[in-house]
Structure 1
Amino acid sequence: MHRPASAVQHRPGPWWAPARAHALTAATLYNLPVMPLTRSKLPALPGAHGDDVHSLCTGQCGTLGHGVHDASSDPDQVKALFAAAPWAAGYGIACGRPPHHLFGLDLDRKNGTDGVANIRALADRHGFTLPETATIATQSRGLHLWLTAPADIVVPNTAGLLARGVDTRGTGGYLVGPGSLGPKGRYAFAPGSGPQVIAPAPEALLRLLTAPQRARQEHPGGPDRPMAGSPKRRLEALVRVVAEADPDGGERNSRLYWAARTAFTVPGIDPATAGADLLIAAVAVGLPEDEAQRVLRNAQRGAARDREESSR
């Protein structure tokens, strides 16, 4: 693959070498597909298609810069990715890929929310036990639990769907790898944990995660289905529309645009909050941040036109 021309103009940063070493270990010893991340935990390579927010390319063009689709377990490809991103400070692990079909429970502990306690309470209510598995201590005292899913199950990327402070990183998303440096500190395996054991997810947990998919199959309606409830509930539903996008189906941009344009016209939804929440969901399903930001700006302009027309 070709590397972006801008990448060859930079010397490696101070965190590049350890990030590359950790990524190569994950790829070569544990067969995990990895890609370089910035210290802000976003894909380090610039988007391959610049301002073309409607591009459906996931790497077929032969260049780097396709977010999570760049991830590879081939050590030569990993070296090429990091050579093209000398500013990298960490690495991401693509979820949903064979052979592991990895996904992660992202358990936050911040702003008065304890995702660790909430997932345990959820497990008690639904009669399952969280298995001993590879666990990452995050920079903000939270945990990432690594789990595997059957090959025929698509685990979605979610934000607060299971419980407060409990997100998932599934197909089309990525987990920040241990050894990465984030804005507040370094990610590392929790004491007594390591990558040797990645446990299968409990069936009850998988049923909870895939229930929205089954509901859509049984009651089709798509994202243009009207949504009732408070502005907060409506925004949560719009965020789920983006978080559940098929990363390989070419629908991420259109879902983000529709959800944002809707959110920006709903009375009671704060535009700044909506933009931030939708941006997080879009990046989680593989959209580069700058691309997602452009889609949000376009949606904001479209929403402004909608308001103007409705006031005439």
Structure 2
Amino acid sequence: MSDTHRDALTRAALEMAGRGIPVFPLWPGTKIAAWHRPARCPGTGACADGHANPEDLATLDPDRIRWRWSDRPWNVGVFPGPAGRIVVDCDQPKTGGGPDGWEQLQELAADRGGPLPDTWTVTTPSGGRHLWFRVPPGCRLRGTVKHIASHVDTRCWGTYALAPGSVFEGGAYELFDDTSEAELPGWLIQANVEHASTALSGSGEKPVKAPDAYVAAALRAETDRVRREPLGQRNKVLCTAAYALGQLVGARVLDEHLARAELHAAVAAWGTPESRVKDHGVIETSLAAGARNPRRITGKAA
């Protein structure tokens, strides 16, 4: 490949780093990180204290980026998790017909009340789309494969995506929509997290199926109650709402990260950033207290 292409990939890496997203070189024309696997770790250098992953070594340093990309046209691996982002990867069906990942995501948005906001988007060589979102503070999501839908994956902690300009199988990743990154909607957080299928309702009792619809309704009700509360009783209402949701977390029917993220969003709606640290502290304390006293879940929770 030409020096022009190498320089273009260097600029792509610098641009992503400038957006606060760490980068790491991938072998030219591939999705493979230019790094050894754990089984072949030499235990020296960056791995002297244990095997280091590309996610650990990805950088924002422009001088390191220029040096690393100076010798060849490395593809640009980008790590959304450490940057507080997530990539929703809408893929094309490999064989046959049926809806693609983009259509599946739109259907899911309609089913869950949406919306699916416009956001920074990259097209892939196969005809898919990478939708970039900001993850709410305190919410740590792992990458998933076919969890949201059969043609929808996510890239977050523990995974990486490719930056615009990277080349794979004769095509390129290209910027499609330069809209600012939207915050990941609550319904999409819920769709992304791993849900427990059962909950222990007490000592000596058998696990019962988690009432997903009930849990979703409880999450909406508690966070809406917080969001609507006027000045005067906010601390008490936040405490009781977080405790109630913590009980569902303790019963293993509600993901802790989702509960925290939705409570943070509800508090943010108050428009009182001066109390944000105190409010988040109330959330943490009350969630933990509720989790220590799990809700007794029955087949018909009420």
TM normalised by structure 1 equals 0.56
Instruction: Return the alpha-carbon distance in structure 2 between the equivalents of residues 179 and 76 of structure 1.
Output: 20
Following superposition, the deviation at residue 155 of structure 1 comes to: 1.5
Partner residue, 2:75: 90
1:106 corresponds, among 83, 89, 112, to: 89
Q: Is the alpha carbon distance of 1:33 and 1:52 closer, same or farther for their aligned partners in structure 2, counting shifts above 3 Å?
A: closer
1:213-232 equivalence runs, <5 A: 215=196
Instruction: Return the alpha-carbon distance in structure 2 between the equivalents of residues 58 and 149 of structure 1.
Output: 33
Partner residue, 1:124: 110
2:20 corresponds, among 31, 43, 52, to: 31
Partner residue, 2:168: 182
Q: Is the alpha carbon distance of 1:189 and 1:62 closer, same or farther for their aligned partners in structure 2, counting shifts above 3 Å?
A: farther
Instruction: Return the alpha-carbon distance in structure 2 between the equivalents of residues 210 and 125 of structure 1.
Output: 17
Partner residue, 1:201: 184
Partner residue, 1:21: 11
Following superposition, the deviation at residue 188 of structure 1 comes to: 0.8
Instruction: Return the alpha-carbon distance in structure 2 between the equivalents of residues 40 and 90 of structure 1.
Output: 7
1:167 corresponds, among 133, 153, 159, to: 153
Q: 1:167 is paired with a residue of what secondary structure?
A: strand
Does residue 67 (structure 1) correspond to residue 54 (structure 2)? The answer is: yes
For structure 2, the 5+ residue unaligned runs are: 201-302
Report the aligned-residue RMSD: 3.1
For structure 1, the 5+ residue unaligned runs are: 1-10, 220-312
Q: Is the alpha carbon distance of 1:62 and 1:179 closer, same or farther for their aligned partners in structure 2, counting shifts above 3 Å?
A: farther
| Greater Rg by CA | 2
TM normalised by structure 2 equals 0.57
Q: 1:150 is paired with a residue of what secondary structure?
A: coil
Maintained 8 Å contact 1:24/1:75: yes
Maintained 8 Å contact 2:135/2:183: yes
Amino acid of the structure 1 residue aligned with 2:16: A
Following superposition, the deviation at residue 218 of structure 1 comes to: 5.8
Q: Give the aligned length.
A: 196
Q: 2:40 is paired with a residue of what secondary structure?
A: coil
Q: Is the alpha carbon distance of 1:217 and 1:97 closer, same or farther for their aligned partners in structure 2, counting shifts above 3 Å?
A: farther
